[in-house]
Amino acid sequence: MNEIGDYQLAVLAFGSIAFGLFLLIKGGDWTIDAAAFIAERAGLSKLFIGATIVAFGTSAPELFTSVNANLTGFPGISLGNIVGSNIANILLIIGATAVVFALHGKPSELLRDMSMMLVATVILVALMLYGIVPRWAGFGMFAILAAFIAYQYWKDTGAGEEDEHDDDIEEKGIDSVGKGMGFLLAGLVALVVGSEMLVQGAVAAGNAIGVPEAIIGLTVIAIGTSLPELSTCLAAALKRQTNMIIGNIVGSNLFNILSIVGITAMIKPLVIDETLVDLDMWVMAGVTFAFAAWMLTVSKIGRPMGIAMLVAYLAFIVYSYQDLLFA
């Protein structure tokens, strides 16, 4: 059988990229519309929906990547994926979203979730300094998350936001909770499949046109597992769903630590790569605490701050891989 030539491979790869982007865009649109509808009908806040259902769904790529990497003997990739994703969620995704639409938050509504995100970050930093995430810690982290979600649900039931009824959502075919759940599931599946197709297509395209795999990994795979968050946040920005955006990012960072690191360690103890402790861990902690402090005091991220966050993320990438980029 003839091997596929570089031209044919490039065509297939770019086709995968295009279809992956399409799925991410549609998946983000369906997810946000369905989540907003369910929140409205169930009397739950959009912040709660964004921090639970949407956050868990958009964190699925990180889960698949981390568990697979740890099981195949690459714990550094497993944990590096989580640390890097949490940094990207704040600097890249919040920054990019703020360029499109200024984000506003109410400290009284954000305090609970922001505080839990900080607690989770402290737990992860402590375990990284310890050198390993044992199975018992994984079970404990997952139990903390389950208890927090139960508490969130108890506090939010019957306390939904007083938003106007969104007729635009019903025009798109979401006119019942059952259909809303269907659109939500379809949106989450589209996000997972779309992100995988985009990442794999980008890797294949890089190989076909001669770009080193290391550069593709740096520019595409490192960001690829955060694409669902980016897609849903930009979709939410266009729909002016500020709480959904903030809830998605805070919830995703929580899930990344307590759920994904927890589940990964439950399956197989997660040994810490020392290189992550040198820089990445402290950047993640610093960015997380700065983001929480800013939202709980200033409570607004506008376009100038969004641009500054994007520049900071680019600087972090360049600094982290300066030996590779300038070799």
Q: What is the pTM of this model?
A: 0.74
pLDDT at 67: 79
pLDDT at 198: 73
Q: Which residue has the higher pLDDT, 226 or 103?
A: 103
Question: Nearest-CA neighbor of 84 among 317, 289, 319?
Answer: 317
Strand partners, 133: 270
CA-based end-to-end distance of the chain:
39
Express each pLDDT in 92-147 by its tens digit: 999 999 998 888 888 888 888 899 999 999 999 999 999 999 999 999 999 998 89
Res. 217 pLDDT band, cuts 50 70 90: very low
Per the listing, tokens 């404990």 go with: 140
pLDDT at 115: 94
**Greatest mean pLDDT range, 222-226, 239-243, 272-276:** 272-276
pLDDT at 109: 81
Express each pLDDT in 20-35 by its tens digit: 778 877 777 787 778 7
Query: Is a pLDDT exceeding 90 seen at residue 153?
Result: no
Express each pLDDT in 174-186 by its tens digit: 777 788 888 888 8
pLDDT at 184: 83
Question: Nearest-CA neighbor of 27 among 235, 287, 247?
Answer: 235
**Residue 293: what are its φ and ψ, rounded to 5°?**
-60, -40
pLDDT at 293: 95
**Residue 240: what are its φ and ψ, rounded to 5°?**
60, 35
Distance CA 27, CA 320 (A): 32
What are the C-alpha distances in Å from 226 to residues 33, 181, 234, 253, 254?
A: 20, 23, 13, 11, 14
**Residue 247: what are its φ and ψ, rounded to 5°?**
-60, -40
Question: Nearest-CA neighbor of 313 among 135, 5, 97?
Answer: 97
